[in-house]
Amino acid sequence: MHDNLIFAAALIGALGMGAQWLAWRIQAPAIVLMSVAGLIVGPVWHVIFGHALLNPSEVFATGETDELGNPGTLLGPIISLAVAVILFEGGLNLRLHELRESGRSVMRLVFVGTPIAWGLGTLAAHYIAQLSWATSALFAGILVVTGPTVIMPLLRQSKLGGKVGSTLKWEGIVNDPVGALLAVFVYEALRVLNDGDSPWLATIKIFGAACAGGLMGWLFGMFMARAFRKGWTPEYLKAPILMATVIFCYALAESIEHETGLVAVTAYGMTLANSRLASLTEVRRFKESIAVLLISAVFVILTADLTPDDIASAFNLPTLGFLCAMLFIVRPISAGLSTLGPLSWKESLLVGWIAPRGIVAVAISGFFANRMVLEGFEDASRLTTLAFSMSIVTVVLHGFTMGPLARYLGLARKGRPGVLIVGATPWSVGLSKTLRDSGVETLIADSNFGRLRAARQANIDRFYGEVVSEEAEFKLDHARFDTVVAVTANDPYNALVCSHFAPELGRHCVFQLSSIDQEDDDPRAINMASRGRTLAKRGRTYDAFMRDVYRGWVFAKTTLSEEYTMDDLLRDRPKSDLIAEIRPDGTLIFLGPSREVKGGPGAIVISFGPDISPEKEKAKNTDGETTEA
């Protein structure tokens, strides 16, 4: 038993993280790959070899029996704690001012579309999926969730930004806790009514429990916010203490009233999110990492625990009819109609189609399925399979159709994501023009309106404002770029910009100019973990580049060929700095220490160096194509 548990834990971690990594590598939805991994080691392995490689119900069995006489298991408590942490992390992302600023479309989706989706989903689950009214109401509440862990990769993959991208993103963030709260509300109502209480007394108990859970979460949040603000805890203990108090808050609320723990931890996260703590950014990243680990583990466990009979039941006519109703009736009516007005008809049409259900919906369904069965609702045992089917179908369909439909409606950007250049200077404007002439989209950002004058005159897209501010989270379209280059005169600020964007884009996609004291063993230099990758060569600082700009140096893009190779370019422009390379497949690589030019026919090399005389330029253009900016 001990060895089986260790093997199961190792296998779950390897499958979950392996699926997450592979999803990032091939730009595919992680939920699909985790589903495949769980199914392979669970029901598929069982069909082929007669037993499952991973059977969570057996591995986590306690040797006791539950209220129904079934073998007891630790899966319930494990999933309960995981869902609690996941919902806390969701609440930690829900800042009220962001909800207000995200526009009328998100507000209407939440306050108008959610009740409509809940009601229509309940009807579809009862009349088509043939669930009881109680189970239908609970399941429909869960399915209003469109998790950001699924929608964000799809938005990046489809190059969808603007109002539609922002609406879908914030709907997912806001609806994460809303769907769970609806499920809690329905479950509590059913549980209280099953005890024989009157409807009025049941209502009082439900709202009383919800208020008690919310108050407890608020008190925990206010206390921790005060503790962090007053410096009662050291920085290195903040994240671990927060993790421990989340579990304690959940357990305390559950001991007072069952299922109010979910309300408590969601309120806890929301309270902290709106407390404006300066140290919350690092804590939020830690919680995101924990949430990703738990989500991966829970999803692998839930899919591996399915049986071949469960899989077969996912393809019967009631289930297929329910999926079609949710896809083609419930979502278009609830989301499409509720956003018509704030959004154009094309944008509403796209929003009405896109609603991928993610890992949170599956985890919460698995969480409530066993509890509903214990309350006497036998049909609730189908919830995990239905949620699993809904997640896979919506992720696959929406993942493959979002991009083509957005392009057909003229809502998606054309071409690859471009480059955000922070700092408007003659050097950065020249770089932006050269990249644009090479087919790369660029956006120059600066907090000084006067410094953007040259960018306006060159008709370069620009953003006026502070890129690391909360305002930029809404006004700056992050779907437009996947690389950041910080080239201001302030090296610490460049490092701040790179550190701000690194968690979103990846540290390999943020660059800044070299500093004058940047050496590997120089104690005066900014720590390498706190800055971006060095652009061009070490020692080529802002002052050095600006000096060369006023000496007449220019940017040039050179297309390599069989006749004109990289060696020829280095011979003709020996003093030039090699800035970037656009490879034949369109991939943009910014060059620097340990990042050399790959070259080859069709590659475009962008360099910065002395102006070439017209005579030499004319002679060189007989073999290689070079233009200067």
The domain spans of the chain are 72-408, 418-628
* Range from 198-207, 412-421, 460-469, 482-491 carrying the lowest mean pLDDT: 198-207
Within 8 A by CB and 6+ apart from 533, the residues are 507, 508, 510, 511, 512, 590, 592, 595
Are the C-beta atoms of residues 66 and 374 closer than 8 Å to each other?
yes
Using the predicted structure, report yes or no on whether residue 603 has a pLDDT greater than 80.
yes
Tell me the CA distances in angstroms from 72 to 63, 69, 321, one per residue in order: 6, 8, 34
Around 487, how many Cα atoms within 13 Å sit in the side-chain half-sphere? 26
Helix, strand or coil, per DSSP, at residue 71: strand
For the CA atoms of 553, 555, 561, 563, the dihedral, rounded to the nearest 10 degrees, stands at -20
Give the integer Cα–Cα distance in Å for 580 and 537: 12
- Tell which residue, 531, 423, 424, 411, has the closest CA to residue 479: 411
CATH code of 418-628, in short, is: 3.40.50.720
Are the C-beta atoms of residues 75 and 56 closer than 8 Å to each other?
yes
Tell me the CA distances in angstroms from 79 to 60, 265, 267, one per residue in order: 12, 15, 20
* Range from 126-135, 137-146, 472-481 carrying the lowest mean pLDDT: 472-481
**Topology at the third CATH level for domain 72-408:** Na+/H+ antiporter like fold (1.20.1530)
Residue type at 347?
A: E
80 Cα distance to chain centroid: 23
Residue type at 341?
A: G
Are the C-beta atoms of residues 418 and 541 closer than 8 Å to each other?
no
Tell me the per-residue pLDDT of 164-197, one tens digit each, with 9 for 90 and over.
Answer: 877 887 787 677 667 767 777 777 777 777 776 6
Within 8 A by CB and 6+ apart from 265, the residues are 84, 85, 87, 88, 91, 217, 246, 249, 250, 253
SS3 assignment for 10-35: HHHHHHHHHHHHHHHHHCCCHHHHHH
Across 98-112, 247-261, 484-498, which has the greatest mean pLDDT? 484-498
- Tell which residue, 130, 185, 110, has the closest CA to residue 368: 185
Instruction: Report the pLDDT value the prediction gives residue 14, as an integer from 0 to 100.
Output: 92
Using the predicted structure, report yes or no on whether residue 432 has a pLDDT greater than 90.
yes
Strand pairing class (71-73; 61-65): antiparallel
Across 107-111, 121-125, 303-307, 388-392, which has the greatest mean pLDDT? 121-125
Global model pTM greater than 0.75: no
- Tell which residue, 587, 588, 586, 584, has the closest CA to residue 602: 584
SS3 assignment for 77-116: HHHHHHHHHHHHHHHHCCCHHHHHHCCHHHHHHHHHHHHH
Are the C-beta atoms of residues 269 and 92 closer than 8 Å to each other?
yes
Give the integer Cα–Cα distance in Å for 33 and 303: 11
- Tell which residue, 417, 346, 510, 342, has the closest CA to residue 160: 417
> Who wins on pLDDT, 65 or 608?
608
490-494 own/partner pairs: CB under 8 Å, 24+ apart: 491/515, 491/526, 491/541, 491/542, 492/526, 494/422, 494/423, 494/531, 494/532
Using the predicted structure, report yes or no on whether residue 329 has a pLDDT greater than 90.
yes
Give the integer Cα–Cα distance in Å for 253 and 257: 6
Residue type at 408?
A: Y
The residues facing 555 across adjacent strands are 608
Tell me the per-residue pLDDT of 194-248, one tens digit each, with 9 for 90 and over.
Answer: 776 666 776 777 777 778 888 999 999 999 988 888 888 887 888 888 889 999 9
